[in-house]
Amino acid sequence: MSLVARVNNSLFLRLFLIFSATVLVFFLIITFAIRQIDRNWRAERLSPLPDFYLDNITLIVDNIGVPPDLERANQLSQELSLTIIIRSPHINWQSDDQNDLDISRAIFVRSLSEQAQMMEVGNEDVIRVSRGGYEYYLNRRVPTLSEYDYVVVYVGLAMAALVLLLNFWLVRRLLAPVKQLREGAERICEGDLSYRVKTHRTDELGELTDSVNHMADSLQSMLEAKRQLLLAISHELRTPITRAKLHLEFMEDGSVKENLGDDINEIDLLISDLIEAERLSNQHQALLAEHVDFADYIGLVLQAYHDYKGGVVFERPEEDVSISIDKLRTRLLLTNIVNNAIRHGRDNPITVRVSFSGNHAVLEVEDQGEGISEEHMEHLSEPFYRADSARQRNTGGFGLGLYLCRLIAQAHGGRLEISSELGVGTHVKVYLPYEQESQEYREDA
């Protein structure tokens, strides 16, 4: 495999090259800036003394005076950008500490006059004037950063910032599939096993994406096989159950016949629930949707519970709304929820509430029963899950009721929400969307 192919197929190598290139570019920028500043600084520092100083050296010393006036010397140092050093047996004075000159190492260069000589100290020109037992040394002060130097610094910083932004863009583009992988994993986790993460990458992230897609394929195949097995078994059981019901009709009435009938009906109900769940989860059968006045329809279904001991309280809005629903499946959804409330409601009142919020019809069922502990909440709408691990008949059904309710709500484009507090009761909310525009059109018609 060529080097280019290895780089294209390796996320690590590309990240390594990006950061290496960034370090190299930073090094080049900093080196260039330092060299430019150093070159300019050295040119300023090592340039010969201007003729102004050479022609006026005597006048400068006269202004300082003999004996020297140190305050005046300091003033001239500031005005003329000079470093002035005065030496005598009694004085060792220097105008500033920025220019550290070792006068003891001064080398004679040439004479400027009878009292002035050009000296050299560490590649720097220094003028020495001897007068009245004092030695005056004059040197151009070490320059600070000039405007040019600042421009070099600012340009270097701007280039460094540009390199950082380019580096950020490259890394973000390189790691973009991570976001797609996260979104895909969330979709698969929510149950959308048909979703696949699209990728054209051949590096490690591309391989990881292919692995995630392959995992989703395997999960979908296994679950589909499981559903097909349940569906096949359910259909195959219909025939012997029908024969059992037929033979049951020829038995004499009594407790045995009644118990057998209850068992057969229970198995028949389980099979019906399994088939219905398979249809909804795989969308093999479209909803038989029709427009109904939602609150009126819910009230009609609740009439079957008029003999419940605790009583069912129906709260409805002042104005009803006509929405499109599958009436049979909506009836199944409501009866499953209400039956659960009755089973665990301890004969307390059950409240059924219909409201309209935004573009959703909201159906609520609230009981004052046993409640559900927190550990079971996230699993309540899973198939065959029951809070009663012993699975006793008198404490519940097969664990398909709320699962079917969730599937029915999702088939309508809505959702199911359950909240509960142990010892207080359970509150179930079903959100079913509807189109407000179509509703307004129906009212105008």
Q: Are residues 247 and 349 in the same domain?
A: no
Q: Are residues 345 and 431 in the same domain?
A: yes
The last residue of one of the domains, among 282, 299, 329, is: 282
Q: Is the pLDDT of residue 154 over 70?
A: yes
Q: Are residues 35 and 108 in the same domain?
A: no
Residue 391: pLDDT band (50, 70, 90) is very low
Residue 191 lies in a domain: no
Q: Are residues 56 and 17 in the same domain?
A: no
Q: Is the pLDDT of residue 48 over 60?
A: no
pLDDT number for residue 445: 45
Q: Are residues 303 and 440 in the same domain?
A: yes
Q: Are residues 59 and 114 in the same domain?
A: yes
Tell me: the pLDDT tens digits for 83-104?
888 888 888 888 877 666 777 7
Domain hosting 9: range is 3-44+146-174
The number of distinct structural domains making up the chain is: 4
Q: Are residues 296 and 429 in the same domain?
A: yes
Q: What is the mean pLDDT of residues 113-137?
A: 83
Q: Are residues 15 and 57 in the same domain?
A: no
Q: Are residues 370 and 246 in the same domain?
A: no
Residue 132: pLDDT band (50, 70, 90) is confident
Residue 197 lies in a domain: no
Residue 351 lies in a domain: yes
Residue 198 lies in a domain: no
Q: Are residues 374 and 249 in the same domain?
A: no
Residue 274 lies in a domain: yes
Q: Are residues 17 and 95 in the same domain?
A: no
Q: Tell me whether strands 350-357 and 312-315 are parallel, antiparallel or unpaired.
A: parallel
pLDDT number for residue 98: 64
Residue 23 lies in a domain: yes
Tell me: the pLDDT tens digits for 13-41?
777 777 778 777 777 777 777 776 666 65
Range 414-419, long-range pairs (CB < 8 A, 24+ positions): 414/360, 416/381, 418/372, 418/377, 418/380, 418/381, 419/377
State the CATH number of the domain containing residue 223.
1.10.287.130
Q: What is the mean pLDDT of residues 387-409?
A: 69
The last residue of one of the domains, among 282, 300, 320, is: 282
Residue 182 lies in a domain: no
State the CATH number of the domain containing residue 435.
3.30.565.10
Taking the C-alpha atoms of residue 297 and residue 95, their distance in angstroms, rounded to an integer, is 101
Q: Are residues 56 and 36 in the same domain?
A: no
Residue 190 lies in a domain: no
The last residue of one of the domains, among 237, 263, 282, is: 282
Q: Is the pLDDT of residue 175 over 80?
A: no
